[in-house]
Structure 1
Amino acid sequence: MRAAQRAFPLFLVLLAACGPSPAPEDAPAASARRPRAEVVEALEADLRAVRHPSDGGGEAAVEPAAGTPPAIPAGSAGRWRIRYRAGPLGVAEGGMIFFQASPFWGWSTPQVEDPAAPGYTVVTSGAPGVVLSPRTLDRQLLGIAVGGRALAPGEEVVIDYGAGPAGAYTDRFAERRSRLWIAVDGDGDGVRRLIAESPAVDVVAGEAAQLSVLLPSTARPGEGVDLVLAVLDRLGNAGVRFAGDVALSAEPALPGLPPAVRFEPADGGLKRIAVSAGEPGVVRVVARALGGDWRSNPLQVTAGGARVLWGDLQVHSGLSDGTGLPADLLHYAREVAALDVVALTDHDHWGMRFLDQTPAAWREIGEAVRRRHQPGRFVALLGFEWTSWIHGHRHVLYFDDRGEVLSSLDPRWDEPRELWAALRGRRALTLAHHSAGGPIATDWSIPPDPALEPLTEIVSVHGSSEAADAPLPIHRPVPGNFVRDALGRGYRLGFVGSSDGHDGHPGLAHLASPSGGLAAILAEEATREAVYEALKARRTYATNGPRILLRASFGGWPMGSDVPLGGGRPPLDGLPPDLLLAQVIAPRPLARIDVVRSGRVVAAVPCGGELDCRLSQTAGDLRAGEYLYLRAVQEDGGAAWSSPFFFVD
């Protein structure tokens, strides 16, 4: 058996590490950071493997069996018949056909052993003398050995998936064109290739279960803003066919807010309502529907203060190991999650097809980004994930419509400093993510390039990489590899959150996972230029999903600043140079605000379950090289982290 085939089960096992569900809290921590050299070796072996012309030959189509709808609700059971027709070179005796339901988010594993269990599969062929031997090889993977004689060109194999009474369960996340992958080892040498176009089915949202109510977090008095209502199923899938009235109220009053709004099935569960921000203050909307009250995030109306743009800077589509088409993810980000900024960051060399080997996929992403980008209203960014199993994962963001995939498997760019050298002079940034553990921890022995990596993703669906005492910490943490440890090395990194989402729900990944991630970007305009400048200047903070409004300054300097000690003039006059001020306005009751100074929590200000909590204290005896940041924690575990203040001579 060739190395490429041996590597495939390893690849599948590691896919679980990219999922959104952190391991149980008692999962053991790694004793030290460990590069995953075996993964790289397997991927390189696959690249070196020689494909026979018959590998990947043929075509396939799928049709639902009687009783299975053409578009099936997420997480439900159905039955499908996949008809494979051999290509011009056929499939040799000893060759194999592989059927793999999308291996990431819940499709039943095809199996031939238990007719009563989910995923039961029957494989047949009308070709005389052909003997088919199917067996489950790994998660969601069925291998079908061809025996008796070769499968001749044009002859067919029928794969009846979900043939038992339990059927086969679909992906739990809705998406158009969820693939049922077919690959062929045409000559029987143990090396296979996907056919040119694997068949697909549409997975749609389930029943209405929750209502998302979203406002911008900041506005000027009298400014027009949008209230976005989205009826979703229990895991946050959109496109629910909901009909009914939703009652609306606001405290204080929100000019232009109707007392109720009517949803029709054709609305797809979405409504965008234009209102006015009104007088200065904090506004919250309550929507009554689906048997309960659904509360918005707070909107602060003020004539001053930085605007907050909400972004999700790391999102994966079905073109790698995520969910959905790129255009659909961008639609969800803007129309469902009411984001201001989103970046598509599919893997360079990970998934069923590899971005660095599929130019058409990169073009599809770029075209979707160009079509959806609306300067002043919505910022769509082109990007990719540099998925290094040696140095840790980083996502690369481009702030124009040009960019290339610099693969971590390419010797020219397989080390962070080589990646940064290739990006130098471009309007581009990189961000390390799940840096303290999870699938693989970041190699912090290589200092982040200050011009290209001024930030780090401190929280995502994998949990928080901040520190061991963080709310919802990352799974499989590596001691000494937390973001606090990186700051202790002297790295000046601002903080963002982003989902690292694979569920097709940018901006709302926390609805289907214990943790999510959002980037709060302090910028006056929703343009690529303004977002780039804010990220470069570390004018950001992070949350693990909830849209918490966090204001903070030190001696008048905004979060993320290099604060001069002695003699430096703060941008705001009249404030003592050692005064730390903060205000946190949260969607849910607040437990406390923590003050973290140079690796230690030095103060915890109780908030007593209030929605608005303030902090005012001095910090003396600061020395150059120290840092200080804030962590606000809701009673339900929702949290926000300010970018640090860095103290310099």
Structure 2
Amino acid sequence: MIEKHDLTEEQIRRYYGWAEIDPDRAVIAGETGTWRIVYHAGKYGIDDGGVIKIAWRDVSDWQRPQFDDPAAPAYASVSTTGPTTLKAVFDRQRYIRPWRYCVTIDVFDDSLSEGDTITLILGDTSGGSPGSRAQTFCKDAFEFRVSVDWCGTWVYTEVPSPKVPIISGAPNKLIALGSSETTPGETTWIGVKAEDVWGNPCAEYRGTVKIDADGLNGLPETFVFQPEHRGVMRFENVTAPTTGIYRVRIQDENNGFEAECNPLICIETRKDAQPFWGDLHGQSEETVGTNPVSSYFRFAREKAWMDFAGHQGNDFQITEAIWNEIKHQANTQNTAGKFVAFVGWEWSGNTPSGGDHNVYYPGDDGPLHRSSHVLIEDKSDIETDCQHITDLYRALKGKDALLIPHVGGRYANLTWHDPNLETVVEVLSEWGEFEWFLKEALEKGYRVGFTCGSDDHKGRPGAAHPGSGAFGIYGGITCVYAKELTRESIWEAIKTRRCYGTSGQRILIDVTVGGQPMGSDLATNTPPEIAVTVWGTAPIEKVDILRGTEIIYTHPQTIPRHKTDIRIAWSGQRIRARNRLVRWDGEVTIDKGRIADARGFAFDSASEGIQSASDQSVTWTSVTTGDADGIILTLDAPPDATIKFGTPVLSQALKLTEIAKGPVVIDAGGIDMKVVFEQMPTGIGRDIAFTHTENQLYPSCHPYWVRVTQIDGGKAWVSPVYVKCEKEI
């Protein structure tokens, strides 16, 4: 229980105590170090049997402290100036959401007096530990929230607690992004930014960047970043002189960085719709995220260069004041033609009651029907709650609203579906890749399109790196084909399923079925022709066309491969629910010949990747949450050499002769968990176009959709065209 009172901060400090941190300075995101949090007892002291708690927000990926091994990473210790004995434990569920990461320190064998101190050392190096790794993403004021139960009554008082800013680290790479479509002479833009190793925009970047404009006008040949740029620069008034495909390249020679922009396609005249990119899913510190909602929308617009965004806070934390602030920021930052911000929230019911559904409105306002008031003190509007998803359907019936079922902390229960409200489902977020969810919706006969989002909790919508916590992968984004960049047009595009999602890359895709665009309903008497055009951000490995959940065609039909490069990729998730993460830390060895080179494949953050490599072995750390990670080995070995693969999940030995015959897929249980051994695909180019015609027209209604896979692991899922035999209508 948290004690509520009307005491001033000075009175709390005097009676209950206060805490400070050493060093009291800005923390560099992801740095390893030592921090001392010192609690000073107030006039009440702490009785024998009392407790103090030192908690931080559970979205944080600050390395979890451990009290058992002084030589291991993240070792922590506690001490006191008083005569008492202390016992400390760290756990995830020891305080109130969103402050659930908590060190609990029991005081016993005696009492503490006023002025006595308790010190928690995070990253105690006295026994050989390298220290503690700090949170990997930026925050204006990171707080260690300290509370004290001075009397042993399970009544806690929160005392003045230390706060420190977390700032970006040294530059690690460059990013170039831009719009996807333009016409000759029309002004567009190109963005360039530096990121640190954890994906934070590098505010201290001062590099000199050379720009190869690839024929575009309006870009400087060289640009020097200044302090006011804070590592991010967007160049406006860029034009393409003629039709074609443009890819801008940038280079920082001094730091050894280079990057290529997503493709910009210049067409002669605009069609009825053009592509816009956005992130519809995330939340800020008003609920369980990081930094305020005002910063959330600014980041999406100014640092991730999204065209549109939504903010989806957990409903059971949204007070009336927070709801008003979410609406105010969405409406204030929404600017037609420049940036679209939607008003919305997340209905966060438990899975048996319906599971996570994002709710959006096309205008400036809309009703808030929470799943519960569990963290809201004011219960005066509790009768407006919708405890079951069908209650929400009824409450929103006839209203202009959009619901997007998704897999978050709670996965949406597809037992229930409202086709008027739910026109799309979310396939991927930082929580993981959930193609099983997409397929379940199609198997149930739901006519839905596909989106991807980040579900970002770290203040980085649209550029959501996973860090090193519960999130497994880089966040997704959605491309919509809309008439213009307005709320009305983006809304119409999503409601009519003219959209697709990617795993974060701006892969541009155009798909028609029977001449109709993605999301359409097609009535025909002839087998449909599926036409696919892809402009990739990396060489394309393959494109699958599916009817329902069945692959009916793969382009190319024979995938070209490197003969001396072997890719071993592992993927999947343990369960559907929150603790779905699978840890694949492991090793590969070869018994003959040597490993000439080893490279990582699709690792998602700096906490993953190859740890060691020699002529005979490679080790790595890796987690998956539905996605794939892996390694690529260049071998100098005879055909009868044996590769041995070992992880806590699965062990397997294979000869190179077996892998040369074709991909070897080993099932590993769980949800789509598997390991694939294969010769590395070479890719078929970044820009491809092909058609495929069905050999017959199947009875009833069938969704035809496309999945794109790049050799870097990037993916896209294109909303289906629903084809029905006209004679059956």
TM bracket (short chain) = 0.7 to 0.9
Q: CA deviation at 1:444?
A: 1.5
Match of 1:615 in 2: 690
Contact 1:310 1:521 in 2 (8 A): yes
Deviations 1:385-407 (A, max 9, x none): 22222232222223333345533
Unaligned runs of 5+ in 1: 1-49, 350-354, 468-481, 567-575
Residues 1:254 and 1:517: Cα distance change in structure 2 (over 3 Å): same
The match for 2:541 is 591
Residues 65 and 75 of structure 2 are in contact (CA less than 8 Å); yes or no, is this contact kept in structure 1?
A: yes
Match of 1:579 among 519, 524, 529: 529
Q: Which amino acid aligns with 2:231?
A: G
**2:250 maps to what in 1?**
287
CA–CA distance in structure 2, aligned partners of residues 612 and 622 of structure 1: 31
2:21, 2:38 within 8 Å by CA — same for their partners in 1? no
Equivalent of residue 120 in structure 1, options 65, 70, 76: 76
Which residue is equivalent to 2:552?
Answer: 602
Q: State the SS of the aligned residue for 1:643.
A: strand
Residues 218 and 308 of structure 1 are in contact (CA less than 8 Å); yes or no, is this contact kept in structure 2? yes
**Residue 304 of structure 1 pairs with residue 270 of structure 2:** yes
Distance 1:407 1:87 in 2: 40
The equivalent position to 1:632 in structure 2, one of 708, 713, 719, is 708
Residue 510 of structure 1: how far off its partner (Å): 5.3
**Mapped contact 1:123–1:134 kept (Cα < 8 A):** no
Closer, same or farther: CA 277–426 of 1 in aligned 2, 3 Å: farther
Q: Which amino acid aligns with 1:172?
A: T
Counterpart in the other structure of 1:382: 343
Q: Which residue of 2 aligns with 1:243?
A: 206
Single out whichever of 404-413 and 494-503 deviates more from structure 2: 404-413
Q: Which residue matches 1:210?
A: 173
Q: Does structure 2 conserve the Cα–Cα contact (< 8 Å) formed by 1:309 and 1:526? A: yes
- The answer on 1:76 being equivalent to 2:31 is yes
Are the structure 2 counterparts of residues 291 and 224 from structure 1 closer, same or farther at C-alpha, using a change threshold of 3 Å? same
Choose which of 407, 418, 424 in structure 2 pairs with 1:449.
418
Amino acid at match of 1:138: D
Give the aligned partner of residue 181 of structure 1: 145
Q: State how far apart, in whole Å, the 2-side matches of 1:61 and 1:361 are.
A: 28
After superposition, the C-alpha distances for 1:161-214 in whole angstroms (9 at most, x for unaligned) are 437335543101122112212234465344657x38754221111110011100
In the TM superposition, residue 235 of structure 1 has moved relative to its aligned partner by: 1.8
What is the CA distance between 1:455 and its match in structure 2? 0.6
CA contact (8 A) 2:59 2:458 kept: no
Counterpart of 1:29 in structure 2 is none
- Corresponding letter in the other structure for 1:304: R
Whole-angstrom CA distance in 2 between matches of 1:208 and 1:557: 45
Q: Contact (CA 8 Å) 1:333, 1:507: kept in 2 or not?
A: yes
Secondary structure at the aligned position of 2:505 is classed as coil
**2:104 matches 1:164:** no
Q: Distance in 2 between matches of 1:559 and 1:55?
A: 58
Q: Which residue of 2 aligns with 1:431?
A: 404
Structure 2 distance, partners of 1:108, 1:483, is: 34
More divergent stretch after superposition (79-88 vs 240-249) = 79-88
Check conservation: 1:623, 1:647, Cα contact below 8 A. no
The Cα shift of 1:329 comes to 2.5
TM-score by length of 2: 0.70
Contact 2:245/2:266 (<8 A) preserved: yes
Match of 1:343 among 282, 287, 310: 310
Structure of higher RCO (CA pairs closer than 8 Å, 6+ residues apart): 1
1:598–1:627 contact (8 Å) kept in structure 2: yes
CA contact (8 A) 1:110 1:161 kept: no
| 171-180 or 363-372: bigger deviation | 363-372
In the alignment of these two chains, the number of paired residues is: 559
SS at match of 1:509: coil
Cα distance between partner residues in 2 of 1:577 and 1:61: 74
Give 1 or 2: higher strand fraction: 2
Partner amino acid, structure 2, of 1:546:
Q
Q: Are 1:262 and 2:337 counterparts?
A: no
Does residue 1:144 correspond to 2:97, yes or no?
Answer: no
CA contact under 8 A between 1:232 and 1:239: conserved in structure 2?
A: yes
Asked whether the 8 Å contact 2:523–2:723 carries over to 1, the reply is yes
Deviation at 1:337, TM superposition (A): 1.3
CA distance in 1, matches of 2:334, 2:41: 43
Shift of 1:384: 2.4
- SS state at 2:532 partner: strand
Q: Matches of residues 429-508 of structure 1 in structure 2 within 5 Å? A: 429-434=402-407, 439-446=409-416, 448-467=417-436, 482-508=437-463
Higher mean C-alpha deviation, range 135-144 or range 590-599: 135-144
Change (3 A) 1:595 1:426: same
Q: CA deviation at 1:549?
A: 0.5
Q: Which is further off, 579-588 or 498-507?
A: 498-507
Mapped contact 2:171–2:202 kept (Cα < 8 A): no
Unaligned residue ranges in structure 2 (runs of 5+):
93-100, 374-381, 560-682
AA aligned opposite 2:430: V
Query: Does the aligned pair in 1 maintain the 2:504–2:714 contact within 8 Å?
Result: yes
Matching residue of 2:628: none
1:458 Cα deviation from its structure 2 partner:
1.2
Measure how far apart 1:486 and its partner are: 1.6
Query: Cα RMSD over matched residues?
Result: 3.1
The equivalent position to 1:518 in structure 2, one of 477, 486, 495, is: 477
CA shift in 2, pair 1:200/1:402, >3 Å = farther
SS at match of 1:288: strand
Q: CA deviation at 1:148?
A: 7.3
In the TM superposition, 1:16-27 aligns within 5 A as none
Cα gap change, 1:317/1:198 in structure 2, threshold over 3 Å: closer, same or farther? Answer: farther
Contact 1:64/1:79, CA 8 A, preserved across alignment: no
Which residue of structure 2 lines up, in the alignment, with residue 372 of structure 1? 333
CA distance, structure 2, for counterparts of residue 439 and residue 495 of structure 1:
19
Structure 2: how far apart are the matches of 1:587 and 1:364?
Answer: 37
Quote the residue 1:538 is aligned against: 497
TM-score normalised over the length of structure 1: 0.78
Q: Would you say 1:315 and 2:282 are equivalent positions?
A: yes
Kindly provide the amino acid, as one letter, of the partner of residue 625 in structure 1.
C
1:72 Cα deviation from its structure 2 partner: 1.4
One-letter amino acid of the counterpart of residue 515, structure 2:
G
Q: Is the 8 Å Cα contact of residues 101 and 108 (structure 1) preserved in structure 2?
A: no
Counterpart of 1:273 in structure 2 is 235
Look up the equivalent residue of 1:615 and give its one-letter code: F
CA contact (8 A) 1:134 1:142 kept: no
Give runs of aligned pairs for residues 190-201 of structure 1, distance below 5 A: 190=154, 192=156, 195=158, 199-201=162-164
Which letter does structure 1 place at the counterpart of 2:104?
Answer: G
Further displaced range: 416-425 or 282-291: 416-425
Distance 1:209 1:191 in 2: 46
Asked if 1:328 corresponds to 2:289, the answer is: no
What SS does the corresponding residue of 1:533 show, helix, strand or coil? Answer: helix
Mapped contact 1:121–1:160 kept (Cα < 8 A): yes
Are the aligned partners of 1:315 and 1:499 in contact in 2 as well (CA < 8 Å)? Answer: yes
Partner of 1:571: none
For residues 372 and 327 of structure 2, the distance between their equivalents in structure 1, rounded to whole angstroms, comes to 22
| Structure 1 position 362, deviation (Å) | 3.9
1:325–1:445 CA distance, 2 compared to 1 (3 A): same
| Alpha-carbon spacing, 1:363–1:178, altered in 2? closer, same or farther (3 Å) | farther
**Structure 1 524/159 Cα, relative in aligned 2: closer, same or farther at 3 Å?**
farther
Q: Are 1:212 and 1:232, in contact at CA under 8 Å, matched by a contact in 2?
A: yes
